[in-house]
Amino acid sequence: VNGREVAYGPQLGDVLHWRYETLDLAPFLKKGVNLIAAEVMNWGADRAFGIVSFRTAFMLQGHSEPECIVNSGSSNGWKVLKNEAIFEREVVWRGGTEIIGGFYAANPTDSIAAAKYPWGWQEMTYDDGDWKKSEALYMKPLTAGASHAWTLQPRTTARQVDEKQPFTRVARSDLKAVAVGAVFGKKPIEVPARSRHKILIDQGEVTLGYPKLQVSGGKNTTIKIKYSEALYNANNQKGNRNDLTGKTIKGISDVYFLDGGKNRVFQPIWFRAFRFIELDITTADEPLVIEDYYNMYSASPIPVVASFETSNPLYAQVWDICWRTLRLCAQDNLMSDIYYETMQYVGDLRPHLMAYTALTGDLTYFRSAMEQFNNSRLPDGNIPSCYPLKATFVHPTYSLIWIDMLHDLMMLNGEKDLLKSYTGEIQEVFDYYETLVNENGLVGKSAYPMFIDWYVPKGGNSVANKEGNSAILTLNYAYTLGKAAEILDYLGQGEKAAFYRTEGRKYAEIVRKLCFDPARGVYLDNPEVEFYDQRASILAVLTGAHSEKENKVLMEKVLDEATAFDSRANLFYYVYLFEAMEKTGVGDFTKELKPWQDIIAAGMKATPEKRIEQNPRSEVHPWTAHPVHFYYSLVAGIRPTSPGFATVRIAPQPGDLKFIKAKYPTPRGMIELDLRFEGKLMGTITLPAGMQGEWVWEGKTVPLKAGETTL
């Protein structure tokens, strides 16, 4: 509006749930003539997997009769130009020539020919005399009922906010005018004519946004801008992220072909994620002047209201990398990562939301995701592994996790009407799983891949469970049956709840009978394959296969580094490991933070996709940001004992921590702890109005009421 950027969007959805933005343009308007302009982009078949598209179109609509003056359409003076200067650049991810790490599902990058670009299209002074009148698409979008095209619905999450982010420093440069350590924008930088130079920027941590490059002159110059989360050595290993010696940049890139004009500003159409940026500049007969270069950081605000202080500084360090990961991935939806796939995966989202809600108490993204996933449901009862999605990826294990997330949401907010609307879909998932059960009672082979966790050296399954007949897959089913039973109990459907609970116990007992090795004291994953998987023993603890006393013994085996497992949980599966520690009271959470300590030691500022020794592809992956949730539920021991956090149990497991001072948000208000464990236990617990609970410590239980309790 009048040359100022107001917004971009809309929020990603699907054609049946096409989101629209609601904007207040008044602060951008002036008396007299105003200019409203919009840029509409469609990457076609190569668009990101998370972008569903019907066709290219634009609609602007005022909410009242006076506001209708802005309505899109030729009658209000709207004109259209197809921008012939921008071309999408395919990202070649197969073979590892352009990017390292495999599957790339985000948008193509940009190629811009400046000589063809309609410079100044946002400004009042621009001459649009050769633009065509806009044409109406007579496919009326509706908000309910039927539609020939888009069915409009309002945005369900917070809009992104932009923030200017200067580049931190130049890490390498073969251009004399740019020394190592230099920053952009302080003075113009001249690149000589008929030369080629490279400048490497190190932002110090991974971030994302829309890098803006302002240049003048340099007609026929080519600038290739490459973005990467990390640098690589000759063996494509990352090593310590702060050690740049002998490493090069590999990643996606934009290419700009310059026309020699003054104050040309180039920025990507879609956001870029990076810690490192390389400018590869080849000039022709004119020198190029770089006026400025900076990033416009863009993400939805994260309203952090929780806090956690303790005696071990590692907790603050891990908090920092978890928080930064959550902050970067808060976009239209909560993204799986910010570079490679950028989608909303079901399995990824459960630990992601655990962390997000622990820090914020905000359920906006949670409700939005549950609705979107249910909108995607397939005829066989499964939901795609991620959504929105232009393709079809299905992991039935993620359909179970959708039910687990319903249970998580129930315990947080207790909304019965929401839960009731999904009870039929819960049964559909279980109906599908019953078709997979082998004669021996174990979950068998599916036509879909049954992703469990990242295994070493790679893949989402082991040799023991790739074809089913798996203790892990069966116990996953039993675990979710138990969660569903609690949902149905809460909704007053006791008979069905009892059936789910009985079925869950049945499958847990079948697994114990077929897969538990009493001599070793741990579980095989497959009774026909000698493969001891730590994940199976973790799930056995959580599904009622053993008595309370047996669970403690099994959990000690699970956590013992001397136990000869053929495979151990990766960082995603630590969600279940930490939950089993909560249930049994066994283990030292500080000790189990060792993988995150290794992440920090490797110079990383966010949580990655896998263990650091696996050279993880993604540097920002929020499914491993879940430790901050367990600061509260495990270390501080704050867990709801009834839906909607009506009642709470506080049973801390501090290990050798000397004190815990915490604030934890719930829908009913803030829970506050101030506890000291040196010698005699001392401290206070404050519950919000309307909440009751119990304090459990060293085998004793003390009732808690709203307000402050002194221990």
Distance, CA of 591 to CA of 559 (rounded, Å):
10
Query: According to the model, what pLDDT value does residue 142 have?
Result: 65
- What pLDDT digit, counting tens, does each position of 149-200 carry? 888 899 999 999 999 999 989 999 999 999 999 999 999 999 999 999 999 9
Distance, CA of 532 to CA of 538 (rounded, Å):
12
What proportions of the chain, in percent to the nearest 5, are helix, strand and coil?
A: 30, 25, 50
Query: According to the model, what pLDDT value does residue 73 have?
Result: 79
Cβ-count burial 150-163 (b if 16+ within 10 Å, e if not): bbbbebbbbbbeee
Asked if residue 638 lies in contact with residue 654, where contact means CB atoms within 8 angstroms, the answer is no
- What pLDDT digit, counting tens, does each position of 368-402 carry? 999 999 999 999 999 999 999 999 999 999 999 99
Cβ-count burial 85-100 (b if 16+ within 10 Å, e if not): beebbebebeeeebbb
Eight-state DSSP code of residue 28 = G
- 3-class secondary structure for 56-75? CCCCCCCCCCHHHHHCCCHH
- What pLDDT digit, counting tens, does each position of 550-592 carry? 999 999 999 999 999 999 999 999 999 999 999 999 999 999 9
- What pLDDT digit, counting tens, does each position of 279-294 carry? 999 999 999 999 999 9
- 3-class secondary structure for 424-436? HHHHHHHHHHHCC
Radius of gyration for the alpha carbons in the chain, expressed in angstroms and rounded: 28
For 220, what's the count of Cα atoms within 13 Å in the CB-facing half-sphere? Answer: 6
Distance, CA of 5 to CA of 359 (rounded, Å):
31
pLDDT-derived band of residue 147, with 50, 70 and 90 as boundaries?
confident
Number of residues written out for the chain: 711
User: Beta-carbon neighbour count of residue 471 at 10 Å?
Assistant: 32
Among positive and negative, which fits the CA dihedral 499, 500, 503, 504?
A: negative
Residue with tokens 């009978």: 513
Share of the chain above pLDDT 70, in %: 99
H-helix or E-strand containing 317?
Answer: helix 314-328
Nearest to 263 by CA among 214, 192, 219: 214
Query: According to the model, what pLDDT value does residue 143 have?
Result: 63
Query: According to the model, what pLDDT value does residue 145 have?
Result: 65
Distance, CA of 603 to CA of 599 (rounded, Å):
7
Torsion of CA 674, 679, 680, 683, to 10 degrees: -10
- What pLDDT digit, counting tens, does each position of 34-87 carry? 999 999 999 988 999 999 988 899 999 998 998 999 999 778 889 999 999 999
Residue with tokens 């310590």: 240
For residue 566, give both structure tokens. Answer: 């053929």
pLDDT at 31 over 90: yes
SS3 151: strand
Average pLDDT over residues 460-480: 97
Eight-state DSSP code of residue 45 = G
- What pLDDT digit, counting tens, does each position of 671-710 carry? 999 999 988 899 999 999 999 999 999 999 999 999 999 9
Distance, CA of 708 to CA of 688 (rounded, Å):
9
Eight-state DSSP code of residue 669 = E
For residue 287, give both structure tokens. Answer: 């020198």
Nearest to 331 by CA among 319, 318, 320, 341: 341
Distance, CA of 361 to CA of 358 (rounded, Å):
6
Asked if residue 274 lies in contact with residue 208, where contact means CB atoms within 8 angstroms, the answer is yes
Name 663's bridge partners. Answer: 307, 672
pLDDT-derived band of residue 136, with 50, 70 and 90 as boundaries?
confident
Query: According to the model, what pLDDT value does residue 137 have?
Result: 80
Distance, CA of 123 to CA of 120 (rounded, Å):
5
What are the DSSP calls for 261-298, one per residue? -SSEEE--SS-EEEEEEEEEEE--SS-EEEEEEEEEEE
Asked if residue 688 lies in contact with residue 670, where contact means CB atoms within 8 angstroms, the answer is yes
Angle among Cα 105, 108, 114 to the nearest 5 degrees reads 165
What phi-psi label fits residue 9: left (phi over 0), alpha (psi between -120 and 50 degrees) or beta? left
Distance, CA of 319 to CA of 346 (rounded, Å):
23
Distance, CA of 708 to CA of 138 (rounded, Å):
63
Mean pLDDT over each residue of the chain, to the nearest integer:
96
- What pLDDT digit, counting tens, does each position of 689-698 carry? 999 999 999 9
pLDDT-derived band of residue 3, with 50, 70 and 90 as boundaries?
very high
pLDDT at 15 over 70: yes
